Chain A
Amino acid sequence: MILRSRQRDRLMRGVLTASAVLAVGVLVLIVGYVLWQGLPVLSRAFLLEPPAKMGRAGGIFPTIVGTVLLTAGAVVVAAPLGVATAIYLAEYAHQGRLVSLIRFGTESLAGIPSIIFGVFGFLFFVIYLGMGWSVLSGALTLAGMILPTIIRTAEEAMLAVPRAYREVSYSLGGSRWQTITRVVLPNALPGILTGIMLGVGRSVGETAAVIFTAGASLRVPHSVLDPVRTMSVHFYLLAREGISMRNAYGTAAVLVLSVLAVNFVAYYLMHRHLARLRGAGR
């Protein structure tokens, strides 16, 4: 059947709108369901008290501490290393075979299932380096897991900075490092931040790699060599072992809300940075 272009246009508009509605709808449904089930559980005590009876009662305080420590540790290790690598790849490395190989390598690493990282972290950090199930082992494993994403997004962001900006900087007598710090990085920052935020999200949500390397202790850790349990792991164990669906949903609600909060803050900061970068404006 031959449709006239106007009919076809209307049809495609319908199909595309439906796709968008479906995609957003699924997201709203999942988040909405978790919050609907979990929000009634939340209370001051739930956030600030330790669990009792393996999580059947009490709060989730140690798992919040565990999540924050592991995620912060992973980002503190992976972000500087990833951005430095990206600067090397985008600005210093001779764009040849070796760099293509490194790029291909990081891209492949980003696609490896997290449980592989978990097993590696277990064998290398926990056993071989003798760190045991600990905050340190978990954070380093997560750092390795999110590193490829940070490298790739940071590099893309830097390569997207117009070449003309670099030429202006060089033509005014700027050195390579001055050009990177004053022109390339400020303009690439939103992209770099996006990569780091993706890393935060993956770290917060990770279970497999964390169970293997940080353990599942319900105590608040006193040193980086103590084991911890994160919220994701707690949720998994509560649901999987049928300990308490109620507290599982409570944990999930805290998880979802904190990820949303981190994203909002990051995008607010990015917006402010962009506004400043483009001049005060009127």
Chain B
Amino acid sequence: MTGRTGGANGSRGPVAVPGSEPGAAKILARDFKFWYGSVPALKGISLEVAPGEQLTIMGPTGSGKTTFLRCLNRLNDLVPGTRFEGSLLIDGRDVYRPGTDVDDLRRRVGMVFALPIPLPMSIFDNVAYGPRLHGVRGRRLAELVERSLRAAALWDEVKDRLGDSAFSLSGGQQQRLSIARVLAVEPEIILMDEPCSGLDPISTLRVEETVEQLRGKYTIVFVTHNPQQAARLGGRVAFFYLGELVECAPAAQLFTRPRDRRTEDYISGRFG
């Protein structure tokens, strides 16, 4: 069974991954709603992501993409006056269940932000920041930092200057450093919130290649406003619009035969 249209068409069941059992989902949202104060940001999202899958969430600014990511690692807890309804499961457990160890949840669900945010410390210390929080020291730490930088395709460029300030890196390198920093806490899920929005096309390509290499090893949710990027990344694409999941389908299908008029308008550039 292929992806169904959710949202406005009234069909609210989880959008199933081809050939997977619903119980095996890594991420499962069921009619999940979210408000900032009285402003609704998510209006009933039902979505499923299989373990090891890379899902792309595409949509314009204000469509709720980032809000959805920030619910998955509960970073929205930092914003006062929010409210939610429905359920949001990771490995079958609701992330909003009372008594959830939020620090542990965030370690398992890593996040790469829209702009590269190097902490004001050395390249090494940036990658080591997460593991140190969780008590990793000494040789194991050094190995972990190297492995993470290699996985983020940055090792060869920085191996001789790990003690330099992270600010000495270019924008694209800083964003791959952010990816390495996330990998170093050995997460299961990686959320990427428009990680290329501040980068030039060449740096964007390098980050996309890095994501390519991570595919299959981690469950990845990649957010972008850019239809071309969503098409390049492949996999399944979920189109968010004004807090609704309009349509979710494999990229090839969504871009050639969109089911919803709004999806068609968006990918053909007819939106303002």
Chain A interface (Cβ within 8 Å of chain B)? 94-95, 162, 164-175, 178, 182-183, 187, 277-282
Contact = CB atoms under 8 A, between A and B. Distances in A.
B133 A178 contact: yes
Given A164-B117, A168-B117, A170-B75, A281 B165 contact: yes
Sort A-B residue pairs by CB-CB distance and give the 9 closest, nearest first: A279-B165, A173-B107, A172-B130, A279-B122, A171-B111, A280-B163, A173-B106, A164-B117, A278-B165
A280 B134 contact: no
A166 B78 CA distance: 10
B99 interface: no
A279 B123 contact: yes
A162 B107 CA distance: 21
A171 B163 contact: no
B164 A280 contact: yes
Contacts of B73: 171
Contacts of B161: 282
Contacts, number: 88
B145 interface: no
B134 A173 contact: yes
A166 B5 CA distance: 37
B168 interface: yes
Interface residues of B, number: 34
Given A95-B80, A171-B110, A172-B133, A278 B167 contact: yes
Contact of A182 (B103, B129, B134): B129
Contacts of B125: 279
Contacts of B110: 171-172
25 contacts: A95-B80, A162-B117, A164-B117, A167-B78, A168-B113, A168-B117, A168-B119, A169-B129, A171-B75, A172-B110, A172-B130, A172-B182, A173-B103, A173-B107, A173-B185, A175-B133, A183-B119, A277-B120, A278-B120, A278-B167, A279-B120, A279-B163, A279-B166, A281-B164, A282-B164
B165 A167 contact: no
A104 B25 CA distance: 52
Most buried by A among B110, B130, B181: B130
Contacts of B166: 279
Nearest to A277: B120
A167 B113 contact: yes
Most buried by B among A167, A171, A174, A282: A171
B261 to A, nearest CB: 36
B24 interface: no
Contact of A171 (B106, B123, B165): B106
Contacts of B134: 173
Contact of A281 (B113, B117, B119, B168): B168
B165 A172 contact: no
A178 B135 CA distance: 12
Contacts of A166: 78
Contacts of A169: 119, 129, 133
Interface in B76-129: 78, 80, 103-104, 106-107, 110-111, 113, 115, 117, 119-123, 125, 129
A178 B165 CA distance: 21
A210 to B, nearest CB: 40
Contacts of A167: 75, 78, 113, 117
Contact of A172 (B80, B121, B123, B129): B129
Most buried by A among B78, B120, B130, B165: B120
Contacts of A164: 113, 115, 117
Contacts of B117: 162, 164-165, 167-168
A94 to B, nearest CB: 8
Nearest to A187: B120
A166 B117 CA distance: 10
Contacts of B75: 167, 170-171
A171 B161 CA distance: 26
A168 B116 CA distance: 10
B122 A280 contact: yes
Contacts of A162: 117
Contacts of B168: 279, 281-282
A11 B239 CA distance: 58
B84 to A, nearest CB: 18
A175 B122 contact: no
B153 to A, nearest CB: 20
A96 to B, nearest CB: 9
Interface in B162-178: 163-168
Given A172-B107, A174-B106, A280-B165, 8 more contacts: A165-B119, A167-B117, A170-B75, A172-B106, A172-B182, A173-B106, A280-B163, A282-B164
A164 B123 CA distance: 17
Most buried by B among A165, A178, A279, A280: A279
